[in-house]
Amino acid sequence: MAFVDHDLHIHSYLSPCAGEERYAQTLDRILFYAEDNGLGTVCVTDHFWDESVPGSSGMYEEQTYAHISSALPLPQSRNVRFLFGCEAEMDRYNTIAIAPEHYDRFDFIVIPTNHLHMSGFTCRGDEDAAERVRLWCERLDYVLEQDFPFEIIGIAHLTDTGIMAGKGYWDVLNRIPDEEYIRLFRKAADRGAGIELNFAWLNLPEDEMEVHLRPYRIAKEEGCRFYLGSDAHTPGKFGACYNASVMDTVGLPLYGW
Ligand SMILES: [Zn+2]
Ligand SMILES: [Zn+2]
């Protein structure tokens, strides 16, 4: 059984999308979660749009560096390495919301290539499954073609349900051929980008589980490295996320980060 010792995708109260509940997600509470679950490394990755990158809109107008860096200095403890990161958004024009001169402000940068639930911002909103397949592949490919410091780049929640409403995400992922996954994950492995393990696996029926596992298995075969990210926005989400047996289910090796 693999040992779960980190969580590199966590939101604090500085991310607005969890409503009132988010106010309980203080930095001290995240540190407590890490201590309580024996995690050696955690990273706070609030939603981010760098103010020097044009194109911010809606909630992102508030998600500046000044805003998310108000988390600093992070609380520390003897047992936990608490890192500072961000989830840098990617809009429908493939604008990635972090300026190169600011990469070094962060220990870790999560990029969500598949946030396709924000109609008018990250996508038009009326795309059918076939078009979302193309977007899933092209947006990931685009990120991997950039001149990023890939040793600190994580590709977020690739099988997230936000790809398409309802069970549409299932249809989208099923349509991606093995050959395309192989091409993309070979490139991710070559660049050294981290692939995030994150999906709601509890109580999933076997056929739906397979929709999630197929890309991660291929990523493993192509030599990708992985990290765990709960994407928890509230303390309540942590309880559902932490369970070491997920690694038995996924059967993937984890590399130190
Ligand atoms: Zn996300
Ligand atoms: Zn997130």
How many angstroms does the Cα of residue 253 sit away from the middle of ligand 1?
23
- Burial of 76 (C-beta count, 10 Å sphere; 0-12/13-18/19+): exposed
pLDDT reported for residue 4: 80
How many angstroms does the Cα of residue 55 sit away from the middle of ligand 1?
18
Q: What percent of the chain has pLDDT over 90?
A: 81
How many angstroms does the Cα of residue 112 sit away from the middle of ligand 1?
5
How many angstroms does the Cα of residue 109 sit away from the middle of ligand 2?
11
How many angstroms does the Cα of residue 157 sit away from the middle of ligand 1?
7
How many angstroms does the Cα of residue 46 sit away from the middle of ligand 2?
7
Q: How far is CA 159 from CA 55, 71, 156, 181, in A?
A: 26, 29, 9, 12
Question: Which segments of the chain have a pLDDT < 70?
Answer: 1-3, 239-257
How many angstroms does the Cα of residue 104 sit away from the middle of ligand 2?
20
pLDDT reported for residue 240: 58
Q: How far is CA 72 from CA 12, 14, 161, in A?
A: 12, 12, 31
Q: Which of 182, 161, 183 is nearest to 173 (CA)?
A: 161
pLDDT reported for residue 29: 96
Ligand minimally distant from the alpha carbon of residue 44: 2
Q: Which of 78, 32, 56 is nearest to 232 (CA)?
A: 32
Query: Amino acid identity, residue 75?
Result: P
| Residue reference for tokens 């075969």 | 221
pLDDT reported for residue 1: 45
pLDDT reported for residue 199: 78
How many angstroms does the Cα of residue 47 sit away from the middle of ligand 2?
7
How many angstroms does the Cα of residue 140 sit away from the middle of ligand 1?
14
C-alpha torsion angle, residues 212, 218, 224, 228 (rounded to 10): 20
- Those residues whose C-beta lies under 8 Å from the C-beta of residue 219, and which sit 6 or more positions away, are 181, 185, 188, 189, 195, 226
Ligand minimally distant from the alpha carbon of residue 231: 2
Q: What is the residue-averaged pLDDT of the chain?
A: 91
Question: Structure tokens of 235?
Answer: 């303390």
